[in-house]
Chains A and B, each alone.
Chain A
Amino acid sequence: METIHGLDLPTWWFLVIGAVFSGYAILDGFDLGAGALHLFFKKEESRRIALNAIGPVWDGNEVWLVIGGGALFAGFPVVYATILSALYELFMVFLVMLIFRAISIEFRSKEPMFWWRRLWDISYSVSSILLALALGLVLGNVIQGIAIDKNYAYQGTLLDLFNPYALLVAVTTLSLFMMHGAIYLVMKTENRLYAKLTILVKNTTIFFVLMFAITSLATLLYIPHMITRYKEVPYMFAFPVLAILAVANITRQIAYRKYFFAFLSSAFVTAMLIILVAVGLFPNIILSTIDPDLHITVYNGSSTEKSLKIMLTFAAIGVPLVGVYTSFVFWTFRGKVKLDETSY
């Protein structure tokens, strides 16, 4: 099997997918978090500032999901097909909520009526919350494994997907995004809204740390297969240690009101949590709860080496490009939000 720097191509692609989904969680994570917190802002002006804080970038952030979906389809078609058809209703609701999130942002400012704006505020917030929860539910079920038979067909029911552990991961995801979004917003705002957000940052951080602790404990107790890898390869313990240090650093930076560093830390935590799951799963991606022989791995679930090589070339060219113009857009819209005639 061909290798690049000692890693085979499916493993490389596993890393690429991990990186893209981390990128998505970090970038759209703060959009979703801002959405989840939206109804906490009471005044019209506050809501507009909060909305315009993500205004120029949320669309670009969502692109990472599109890239992730394509990357999964291209590199691990078996995983893509199996997970999407198994969690059918969940993904359908997810897709519809993406639509509602998008149109709420787009349409809210188009009419001045109170009821119109109120309606889109609610729709924006509810869809953001549901999106975060749905992503968490998917993650929770991937961590535990799902009932996949030898034809890659899902044998469980819809209700099975709403098990306690998956729900726990869902709420944890929401809490992470809320904290991440609050920290983003506090960087983009001034005066009274800023003051209000400093409190929200504290509260959401407490919420997240609590959920993080509970989920970690639940994983240690009830999901033994996630721990195996760490026991086998002890230096992998560096990841959970780093994650915990980063969480601690968020609280430290918040205490010093250094929100940019807090934001970097919460972005780092987001990536770390995905890495923790990836390390625990590898080389499996989808665990079959019916028979361990039916696990879908990076090897039996991937495209051919030829295809992966093409895709890796694409990623090597494309990801730096996307990085450059994403940075350019963020740089253009740096600093505190100022409303003007082009704002939402």
Chain B
Amino acid sequence: MNTEILSRIQFAFTIAFHYIYPPLSIGLGVVLVIMEGMYLRTGKQIYEQMTRFWIKIFALIFGIGVATGIVMEFEFGTNWAVYSRYVGDIFGSALAAEGIFAFALESGFLGILLFGWNRVSPRVHFFSTIMVALGSMFSAIWIVVANSWQQTPAGYRIEGEGMKARAVITDFWEMVFNPSSVDRLSHVIIGSFLAGSFLVLSVNAYYILRQRHLEIAKASFKIALTVATVASLMQLFTGHRSADGVAKHQPAKLAAFEGHYDSSAVADMYLIGWTNADKREITGLKIPGGLSFLLHQDFTTPVKGLNAFPKEDRPSSRAVNVVFQTYHLMVAIGMALIGLSLLAVFLWWKGKLFEQKWLLQLFAWSVLLPQIANQVGWYSAEIGRQPWVVYGLLRTSDALSQSLKTEQVLFSLIMFTLVYALLFALFLYLLNKKIKHGPVDTHSETIPDSSKRDNPILN
């Protein structure tokens, strides 16, 4: 293990762990705005109770999101000093904008959200909820803009040489709206809506199965189902736009998505498969010419393959298989979510939504699906960009801090592994506890006996 590999593992591990939380916050934020908005409109107690309940869950998720997010902000400098100097002019400004415009908004108003019930009017409280939800989305905007610039750099020029080389900004808005920003941002935001809404669906499906908090659970389920259905359908659109963009701007990555090597050939689309690194073949179930059709609306047009790129400029064969698998898993889950939400909507229309036990059971587990899809989607995006940290400009291997020693990274990696394991265990424990406790009457703190039962989501 060398310093580079360890640093990459550390970054991947800390960012993947962090990424469990922000999508949940963003998605829950939207659900909370709807819930509290309904409360303000109708004045009904059940909406107040569900809002209060989900704000508590939101706080837990947000807290861990912040704690693990600050790590990310500083990890660029600690492990990737050369990268940081290289991109500071551009990447840094996006990160600073995130801090001042998004994160400050979110954290400032969170205090009112949590502790302000008795101190501000319902309208001001609702306003705070909107600010927190907006803040979390603004965060996503700046972070995804920064990352998209790494994928498809624009609005910059390169200055200096060797250690002094850096990318400097020439056009701020061109940098912000680089070719992949909008596609990737919409894909990420909608993915977050899915993460949040399926968490709400899952918990309420569990309540309905257990015959607990029925009135609140059914109302919450319907709110979340609406968000989930709209989001899962929109994700089809943003996903397609993203793939189109990758084809245009990062052809090597797209080729890796489908394990497509030969440029002169028609590109197939696999439903499932395994790439063979030596033979550069894929075994699996495919739609012949599917990728060609998706990109060119024609089953016979050839698509640029991995062979068209020098070996040192494209992902390694091992990486290609990882990218292939993660990409396909993401797509498969996306389709499953569409099917699941449409089915539920159909039953809702028929008036039989809460009668199908198996469907509710499926929903109780479904929280994992968008989580996995969000994770593996990022793996494809980031591993597919390799060997570049800034696509076409700076290699990951050149981006490392010069003074860093292997023992140092080993030390921090072990520390993060232990701390995050503890953090995750505590998170699950407390989430489980809050879910079992459930929404309660506004001013009573009694824990129902039924809350001591097992929770299928976590056990």
Contacts and interface: CB of A to CB of B under 8 A. Distances in A.
Interface of A: 52, 55-57, 59-60, 62-63, 65-67, 69-71, 73-78, 80-86, 88-89, 91-93, 95-96, 98-100, 102-103, 106-107, 110, 151-155, 303-304, 306-307, 310-311, 314-315, 318-319, 321-322, 325-326, 328-329, 332-333, 340-343
Given A60-B108, A70-B96, 18 more contacts: A63-B99, A70-B73, A70-B98, A73-B76, A73-B91, A75-B96, A77-B88, A77-B166, A85-B78, A99-B67, A99-B68, A103-B426, A151-B163, A152-B85, A153-B401, A155-B403, A325-B131, A332-B119
Contacts of A333: 111, 115-116, 119
B420 to A, nearest CB: 9
B104 A67 contact: yes
B329 interface: no
Interface residues of B, number: 75
B32 to A, nearest CB: 15
B415 interface: yes
B402 interface: yes
A153 B408 CA distance: 14
A65 B404 contact: no
Given A110-B430, A306-B170, A332-B120, A85 B401 contact: yes
A341 B67 contact: no
B79 A85 contact: yes
B342 interface: no
Given A81-B85, A319-B100, A96 B170 contact: no
A110 B117 CA distance: 19
B433 to A, nearest CB: 7
B403 A332 contact: no
Contact of B426 (A107, A310, A340, A343): A107
A86 B163 CA distance: 16
A92 B169 CA distance: 30
Q: Which of B85, B91, B96 has the most CB of A within 10 A?
A: B96
Contact of A73 (B96, B108, B117, B443): B96
A103 B63 contact: yes
A103 B63 CA distance: 7
A92 B415 contact: yes
Contacts of B81: 81-82, 84-85, 152
Nearest to B172: A310
A257 to B, nearest CB: 27
B169 A84 contact: no
Contact of B169 (A152, A310, A319, A321): A310
Contact of B95 (A73, A86, A307): A73
Nearest to A80: B77
A91 B78 contact: yes
B64 A103 contact: yes
Given A78-B85, A86-B403, A310-B169, A59 B66 contact: yes
A318 B104 contact: yes
A98 B92 contact: no
A80 B445 contact: no
Contacts of B430: 107, 110
B416 interface: yes
B168 A307 contact: yes
Contacts of A343: 115
A57 B111 contact: yes
B66 A62 contact: yes
B78 A78 contact: no
Contact of B74 (A62, A84, A103, A154): A84
A100 B93 CA distance: 29
Contacts of A322: 100, 104, 108
Contacts of A84: 74, 76-78, 81, 84
Contacts of B76: 73, 80-81, 84
Q: Which 7 A-B pairs have the closest CB atoms?
A: A77-B88, A84-B77, A74-B92, A70-B96, A56-B111, A318-B100, A73-B92
A67 B96 contact: yes
8 contacts: A56-B111, A80-B84, A81-B82, A303-B169, A304-B159, A326-B104, A329-B109, A329-B111
